[in-house]
Amino acid sequence: CRQKETAKSDNPLLNEFDTPFGVPPFDLIKAAHFKPAYLKAFEEQKETIRKIITNTAEPTFDNVIKELEYSGELLTKVSRIFGSLNSANTNDSLQAISLDMAPLSSKHRDDINLNDTLFQKVKSVYDNMEKFDLTEEEKKVLDDTYKGFVRSGALLSAEDKDKLRAINGELSTLSVRFGQNLLAETNGFTLVIDNENDLSGLPEGVRAQAAAAAKAKGMEGKWLFTLQAPSYFPFMTYADNRDLREKMFRGYMMRGNNGNERDNNQIIADIVRLRVEKARLLGYTSHADYVLERNMSKEPERVLEFLAQIWAAALPVAKAEAEAQQAMIDRDGGNFKLQPWDWFYYTEKIRKEKYDISDEEVRPYFEVNNVTQGMFHVANRLYGLEFSERTDIPRYHPDVRAFEVTRDKKHVGILMIDYHPRASKRGGAWCSALRGQKLDEDGKFITPLVSMVTNFTPPSGDTPSLLTSDEASTLFHEFGHALHSLLSNTVYSSGVSRDFVELPSQIMEHWVLEPEVLRVYAKHYQTGEVIPDALIEKLEKAGKFNTGFTTVEYLAASSLDMEYHSLTEPVGVNVGEFEKAAM
C-alpha cells in the first residue's frame, strides 16, 4: 500500500505479502478482513487527496496527476483481490460484503470525482499541458484524468451533483444484485434423470459426468444435469429427448425471469432508466452517446450502421441453416417446426452428415493440459516466454494452477488458470489482473499477477478434462488477454483504449487450429497419437459451419443492447414487451 505499515497488522490485506512473488496469501485472507481493509484504503486515498488540494504550490503533473495516480494503491490491491474471489470462488459472506461495499465504493469515487477544488487543479494542469514537457504516456494519463472528471460530473451544479451521487449509488447496488441473482438462478436449476432411456443420444463421457454429479449430490444411480456450460451445451447438442431439451432450454433462458425473489426484470428496468437519467444529467442524449464518446465509433448511428452491414450478410446464411435443419426434421419424419431447443441438436447432426466430424471425435485430442501447453508453445515462439508450474504459490482454490512466466530467465509475472465450473463461480470466461504491471513511486518495476478463469468440462473418473475445439479457442482467447497484461511495460496503470482490449485475444485465438500448432498439442489423451491430417482437414472445412447462427445471435444481442441504451427518456420499461418490440 502507499503508506508503508510500521507494524504488522492482524489483517493480511494491510501487510506486504510475504509470499513468492507477492501473491496474496489466500489461506490467511478471510471474508471478515475485506470491509476493514476497504475502509482503511478509503481513508488512505482521502488523505492523499487532502494533501493534493491543500498544496499551495502551482499545480503540476507531478503534484496533482501523478499523486492521483498513486493515491489508490491499497484500494486497488484490496478491490482486485476481492473482485477475483467474489467472481470465481464466492460465498454468502463475500456476496453480503459486495452488496455492503457497493454504495460505499460509489460514494468514495464520487467524493473524489465531484471535488471541485481537486478538479480545478486537474484542469489547471490540463490547460497548461504544453509547459510541462510530458511524455506521450503522461499526456494520455492527463487526458484520461481530465476527461474522466468531466464525464464523472465535475462540471455539474451542486444540486445536479447530488442527483448524480444518488444515481451512482443505486446503480452500484443494482449491478451487484443482478449478478448474484443470475448465479443463484444458474445454481438453482437441475435436471435429474432416473430413466436410462432418457439418456439416448448422449455420449458416454457426458453420461459419466452426469452420473458423477448426481453421486456428489447423494443421488447415486441417477444422472444430474445443470445449467453450467459443460453440462448444458452437450445435453442440448446430443440428447434425443426433445421434451427434456426444451426443459433445459427454458431453464437456461428463463434465469432471472421466473417471478421469484431472484427475478431480474425490475433490476434491468431500473438500470436502463438510471443510465438514461445519468446520461441526460451529464449532457448526453442517451447512455449510448455517453459510452461511445470515448470509443472509436463515437456515436450510436455508426454502431447501428456497422451492425446492419453484418446483419445483411449473416441473416441469409442463418436462414439457410434453419431451412437445412427443418429439411432434416421433415426427412426424418419429425412432425414439428424447428424450435430454439432443436438448434444445437440438428446443427450437430448436419455437421456430422456434411463434414463427417463431431465434437466427440475431436475431444480426445484436446486434453486441457495439452491445449495449455500448446498455447504456451505459441507464446514461446512469438514472444520468447517460458512457463513453469509452481506449486509453492498460494491459490484461492485447489483447482487453480499457477505458472511463473519468464523470458531470458528473467521473471515476467505469474499466471493463474482456473479451468472448471463450480457453484461458487459465475459463468463464462474472463481474464483479470490480481496485480497490474507498473512502476511504483520509487521507479521499481512491478510485475503482474494475472488470472484466467473458464468453465470447461471437468475430469471424471479416469477421463481427464477434454475440450471441444470451441473451448480450446476460448482458452487461447483468454490467454491473449493474459499476454496483454503479462507483457505490459508502462509507468502508470491507466490502461489502454477500450477499443484495443480485444485485439490481443482475437489475434491469439487464430492460432488454435493452425495445423502447425495442432500438431504440437493435439494428441490423443490415451494413445499419444498426434491428431491425424484427415481430422485437421475436416476441422478446417467445418470451420465456418453454423457461423450464420452464431453471428446473428450475437448481432441480435448487440442490437437489443443498443435499443435499450439509445433510449432518450428515463421511462420505465416492461422488459418482456420491450425486447419483443425491439426484436
Distance between CA atoms of 536 and 157, rounded to whole angstroms? 63
DSSP helix/strand/coil, 434 = strand
Query: Under a CB-based contact definition with an 8 Å cutoff, are residues 572 and 269 in contact?
Result: yes
Q: How far apart are CA 76 and CA 358, in angstroms?
A: 45
Residues in a beta bridge with 191: 225
Compute the distance between CA of residue 438 and CA of residue 99 in angstroms, rounded to an integer: 30
Instruction: Count the neighbouring beta carbons within 10 Å of the beta carbon of residue 113.
Output: 20
Integer Cα distance of 287 and 277 in angstroms? 8
The catalytic position among 69, 73, 478, 509 is: 478
Packing angle, helices 92-113 and 73-88, rounded to 10: 150
Instruction: Name the residue with cell 489508490.
Output: 72
Decide if 125 contacts 60 (C-beta within 8 A). yes
Q: Is 478 a catalytic residue?
A: yes
Distance (Å, rounded) from C-alpha 521 to C-alpha 368?
10
Name the one residue in this structure whose C-alpha cell is 438510471: 274
Do 64 and 54 contact (CB within 8 A), yes or no? no
Record the cell numbers describing residue 458, joined without a space: 471437468
Distance CA 146, CA 122 (A): 6
Task: Please report where in the chains the cell 468531466 appears, as a residue.
Answer: 150
Pairing between β-strand 449-453 and β-strand 410-418 as defined by DSSP bridges: parallel
CB burial readout 194-213, b (16+ within 10 A) else e? eeeebbebbbebbbbbbbbb
Contact of 270 with 551, CB cutoff 8 Å: no
SS (H, E, C) 118-174: HHHHHHHHHHCHHHHCCCHHHHHHHHHHHHHHHHCCCCCCHHHHHHHHHHHHHHHHH
Q: How far apart are CA 405 and CA 264, in angstroms?
A: 41
Task: Give the residue ranges of DSSP H helices in 456-574.
Answer: 469-486, 503-509, 515-521, 533-541, 547-565
How far apart CA 38 and CA 216 sit, in angstroms, is: 37
Three-class secondary structure of residue 213 per DSSP: helix
- Could you give the C-alpha distances from 398 to 402, 458, 515, in angstroms and in order? 11, 13, 34
Per the CB < 8 A criterion, the answer to whether 418 and 454 are in contact is: yes
Which of 371-400 are b and which e, b meaning 16 or more Cβ less than 10 Å from the residue's Cβ?
Answer: bbebbbbbbeeeeebebeebeebbbbeebb
Residues belonging to the active site = 478
